[in-house]
Structure 1
Amino acid sequence: MNHVLIVDDEAEIRESLESILREEGYLVTTSATATEALELLRDAAYDVVLLDIWLPDRDGLEALAEIRTIDSTNVPEVVIISGHGTIEAAVRATKLGAYDFLEKPLSLDRTLIVLKNAMKARQMREDNAEFSRQLAVKGTVTGQSVPLKALRQQIKLMAPTNGRVLIYGESGTGKELIGRAMHAESLRKDRPFVELNCAAIPEDYIESELFGYRHGAVPAGTSGPQEKRGTFERADGGTLFLDEVGDMSLKTQAKVLRALDEQRFLPVGASHPIHVDVRVIAATNKDLEEEIARGNFREDLFYRLNVIPFFVPPLRDRKEDIPLLVKEFLQEFGQQYGRPHVEMTEDALAALRQYHWPGNVRELRNLVERVLILNPKTQRIERKHLPMLVYRGPGKLTESGRINPRGEEFSSLLEAREAYERDYILKKLDENHGNVSRTAESLGLERSHLYRKMKTLGVSIKE
């Protein structure tokens, strides 16, 4: 359902427009000032804003200019309304990005036609942006290992269907990436991909996030729009990605089960259900069959979601993909930090392949970013630039999946001591946000002494 924000200081006009637009099936929120309207726009997505030029706290055209600076994925179409319309104002509004200009007293027929056309323009812009984004997502499942090749083949085979997908994998393996790749290869690729992390939403709010709410049913403690579209509604025609679905409460599971069965749901506070066409892709790092046995997950929901199971292998089972992933991350962060030609030596890559990677691809990505930040002048990342956990070699794998250091893995006592000192200094630099003076103080060293030691150990950092 399309969401309209009416911004006008005349209560009579706000109430009249709100009543008419609700009868036409629109979600409506109203505001009497530009300041309040801008706060609402930063908190939630609206499709169209009906914006008066004359507002008590600021000029409507100034507010229009500020609206156009909002994150491009959430910029609504803006229709200017004014009782003092001039050609000059209309031209200025158009240059600032307004979709159209309506004069008061408003013609009901013209207002509805302009609003309908603005909705179509907003949807087309959103679809084009989503399509471009999905095109960029293709090919991002990086790796040439046997497990990754098999996974890509499974995506290619299953993506064009409407079967629900359940993706299994440890934290950090890239389950969301697989979900996006599935969507990009599907027949729904031109429609929205909407994601919701079930573990990140408090239990009191997850129902409204999934199904939305209507006027008068704003969740307690919520400051924001009077009405909201849920993720099911926003994903209509496209794909809904439910991450960490195993963390969903039994109460919410029951409502999701019903929505999947009927392809319709009732927003909080609504009197009529909404019908949707949504493909659900879910992901979890839990053993759901074990959760079912414990009474934490509904068996019927499991069978609805587990139509097409995917298993994303941990990084330790596809270490031959590490050089490709490192290259990808170096390019990403190299562009971000203005160092596009940074490379990693074979010796450093060998050290990365020896590590067990309990945090999987996410841990590798974070490590690459950290090394680039802490070595701003280095164009070749060597083994010595890696954190000691990786630098010191494979060690002994413990039951927790971490490395247990052994002194005999270093060729000499000096090498072991330097490795420990380097990692400890890097840790303290991290804690002090790269500030050398504060780091020296926390280490009990003179600043000049720390600089000399950093140079000896190959640590470089900008203050």
Structure 2
Amino acid sequence: MAFRILVIDDETAIREAIRMTLEYEGYRIDEARSGQDGIDKATRTAAPYDAILLDIKMPVLDGIEVLENLKEQHVPSPVIMVSGHGDISTAVECTKRGAFDFLEKPLNRDKLLLSVRNAVRQQKLEEEVGELREREARDYQLVGESSSMKELKSQIELAAPTKATVLITGESGTGKELVAREIHRRSSRAAQPFIQVNCAAIPEELIESELFGHEKGSFTGAVRKQTGKFVAADGGTIFLDEIGDMSLRTQAKVLRVLQEGEVEPVGSATVIKVDVRVIAATNKELTEEIRAGRFREDLFYRLNVIPVRTPPLRERKDDIPLLAQHFATMFSAQYNRPAKKFTPAAQKALQDAAWRGNVRELRNMIERLVIMVPSDTIDITDLPSEFFRAAGDIIATAMRLATLQDFKDEAEKAFILAKLRENGWNVSKTAEAIDTPRSNLYKKIEQYNIKREGGGTMAASDRDEGEKQG
């Protein structure tokens, strides 16, 4: 399909010369003989022009006024300004107002073709980026209508328009990166970079170079100058994932960025000013890390301006059928497979599962099912054998134990542990859920030495909390 170019110029001879040159190269040309005519054509076309050539000196509406009007109406086409009285100041002024390029009359054929070719390429790249962003928004949208998801979406809506730092907490696999991207996508920085850094995946000796950049020769292996992630994110958002794994030394430097808005590359005495919104995430309890001396309290308060918690899947079981169908539809399209549906039995089995890996684990399983199940319907019999491993584990445990009482104790311990996880380690809720007095549940927790994930015995920590509340 030929690329479409709009030529706006009040001189017929100029329009004709440009049209003949570009049509010879395979472009489709529309002409406008005045500024207003050009605005009308550019804003009323069904699909945006791939480029616009705009003369500056025209009666009534000059080219600068037309350019401003097109930008105000969000016409996406790149605009090449043309002038017979051009100078550097005019070119700079056009560029500041959003022009893609500036050409002087009389037009040089090669320069004209090069400028139009570059403008068309730029337009196509921007369209592709837009399509990728739309696809990303569809594929990685926050799915769910449970009360915990409604609360999360409300928090995102409040956080997105601000410049404040955000601290996202939650278990692994609950979608912390997705939340960070959604906050960025809804913010005024959406068109600017979103830079992700996994603090746990980068060796300690390289993390500062990765974040702040380095000068050539600043350390062994630094064979060239490198720009850091904070500078790369200038104007946009940096997402510091697993910040709880960051060393105290690096934490101090991140604190400086938040306080001063500047970075100092490794091996450099020069500071670089940056305008970056920081979103951090962790699956650790940072208040406990502070008490243990592993995390800076001042950095915590700088990051925790807007706290956001991603709920585990066990707190939003009603969302599991929606999530499963969302992933099934997404992966069916991705792998060019027939759209998959779940039987009620399969949905119930998915809802009843523990999902210790949360949404990530569910997503991976659905991807596998879409690939492996040939029919359009996924039934409970299609679920992989390891999905039912919990029941098999109980039988295997029974074979290793000496007495019936030993088996009963082991099963009871596993049951209580599963229910505590399911109820967010809240003893009162768990006792109510399993229909037993809270005092009896405390005894069982102590009897089996059940400990809350993250340290400390459940009985002691939860009782203390209850006494404080009482």
User: What TM-score results when the alignment is normalised by the length of structure 2?
Assistant: 0.55
Q: Does 1:385 align with 2:382?
A: yes
Q: Does 1:314 align with 2:315?
A: no
Identical positions, percent: 50
* Distance apart, 1:130 and its partner CA: 5.8
Corresponding residue of 2:254: 256
Q: How does 1:7-406 map to 2 (within 5 A)?
A: 133-138=132-137, 140-217=141-218, 219-221=219-221, 226-375=224-373, 377-391=374-388, 398=415, 401=418
- Consecutive unaligned residues of structure 1, counting only runs of 5 or more, are 1-98, 101-118, 404-463
What is the SS of the residue equivalent to 1:190? coil
Cα 1:146/1:383, change in 2 over 3 Å: same
Cα 1:133/1:164, change in 2 over 3 Å: farther
Q: Deviations over 1:339-363 (max 9, x none)?
A: 1312221110100001111100000
Maintained 8 Å contact 2:338/2:376: no
Corresponding residue of 2:106: none
* Distance apart, 1:234 and its partner CA: 0.6
Code of the aligned partner of 1:251: R
Maintained 8 Å contact 2:199/2:246: yes
Cα 1:182/1:365, change in 2 over 3 Å: same
- Consecutive unaligned residues of structure 2, counting only runs of 5 or more, are 1-99, 102-117, 395-410, 421-470
Cα distance in 2 for residues equivalent to 1:240 and 1:292: 23
Maintained 8 Å contact 1:172/1:363: yes
* Distance apart, 1:190 and its partner CA: 1.1
Cα distance in 1 for residues equivalent to 2:229 and 2:125: 16
Cα 1:233/1:171, change in 2 over 3 Å: same
Q: Deviations over 1:316-359 (max 9, x none)?
A: 10011111111121122212322131222111010000111110
Would you identify which runs of 4 or more consecutive aligned residues in structure 1 move more than 6 Å?
Answer: 119-129, 392-396
Cα 1:203/1:392, change in 2 over 3 Å: closer
CA radius of gyration, larger in: 2
Code of the aligned partner of 2:384: P
Cα distance in 2 for residues equivalent to 1:271 and 1:123: 37
Q: Deviations over 1:401-432 (max 9, x none)?
A: 599xxxxxxxxxxxxxxxxxxxxxxxxxxxxx
* Distance apart, 1:372 and its partner CA: 2.9
What is the SS of the residue equivalent to 2:322? helix
Cα 1:120/1:246, change in 2 over 3 Å: farther
Cα distance in 2 for residues equivalent to 1:125 and 1:248: 40
* Distance apart, 1:398 and its partner CA: 5.0
Structure 1 vs Structure 2 CA RMSD:
3.1
Cα 1:130/1:182, change in 2 over 3 Å: farther
Code of the aligned partner of 1:170: E
* Distance apart, 1:154 and its partner CA: 1.4
* Distance apart, 1:213 and its partner CA: 1.3
Cα 1:206/1:156, change in 2 over 3 Å: same
* Distance apart, 1:205 and its partner CA: 0.7
Code of the aligned partner of 1:154: Q
Maintained 8 Å contact 1:213/1:270: yes
Q: Deviations over 1:119-161 (max 9, x none)?
A: 9999999877666544444460111111111111111122100
Cα distance in 1 for residues equivalent to 2:122 and 2:224: 22
What is the SS of the residue equivalent to 2:361? helix
Maintained 8 Å contact 1:358/1:401: no
Cα 1:243/1:187, change in 2 over 3 Å: same
What is the SS of the residue equivalent to 1:356? coil
* Distance apart, 1:226 and its partner CA: 1.1
Code of the aligned partner of 2:301: Y
Code of the aligned partner of 2:296: R
* Distance apart, 1:387 and its partner CA: 2.3
What is the SS of the residue equivalent to 1:368? helix
* Distance apart, 1:221 and its partner CA: 4.3
Q: How many residues of Structure 1 are paired with residues of Structure 2 in the alignment?
A: 284
Cα distance in 2 for residues equivalent to 1:197 and 1:257: 17
What is the SS of the residue equivalent to 2:293? coil
Cα 1:125/1:215, change in 2 over 3 Å: farther
Maintained 8 Å contact 1:356/1:402: no
Cα 1:248/1:188, change in 2 over 3 Å: same
Cα 1:129/1:276, change in 2 over 3 Å: farther
What is the SS of the residue equivalent to 1:310? strand
